[in-house]
Amino acid sequence: MQVGQATESEEGQKLLKSPETRTALLAMTITGWGSVITGVVVLLVILFPAGA
């Protein structure tokens, strides 16, 4: 059991240190902000139509 847990934590540390994981986290953050900005823009378009 302990050996398995040690291997898992080592794998987790490797994942955290790998550039791919950091890039994925950064992409998730950018996408999250992207959806927030998109939601705000949609709200503005609904509240203040372009024709007004």
Establish if 12 belongs to a structural domain.
Answer: yes
Enclosing domain of residue 6: 2-47
The answer to whether the CB of 15 falls within 8 A of the CB of 21 is yes
Q: What percent of the chain has pLDDT over 70?
A: 71
pTM above 0.85, yes or no: no
What would the pLDDT profile of 26-43 be if each residue is shown by its tens digit? 888 888 888 899 999 999
Establish if 17 belongs to a structural domain.
Answer: yes
Residue 2 has pLDDT above 70, yes or no: no
DSSP character at residue 51: T
**Amino acid symbol at 24:** A
Residue 3 has pLDDT above 60, yes or no: no
Establish if 24 belongs to a structural domain.
Answer: yes
Of the candidates 30, 12, 9, the residue with the CA atom closest to the CA atom of residue 21: 12
Domain count, the chain: 1
Q: What's the pLDDT at 1?
A: 47
Establish if 34 belongs to a structural domain.
Answer: yes
Establish if 28 belongs to a structural domain.
Answer: yes
Q: How much is the average pLDDT of 11-39? A: 83
Q: Which value, to the nearest 10 degrees, does the dihedral of the CA atoms of residues 26, 32, 33, 39 take?
A: 160
Establish if 52 belongs to a structural domain.
Answer: no
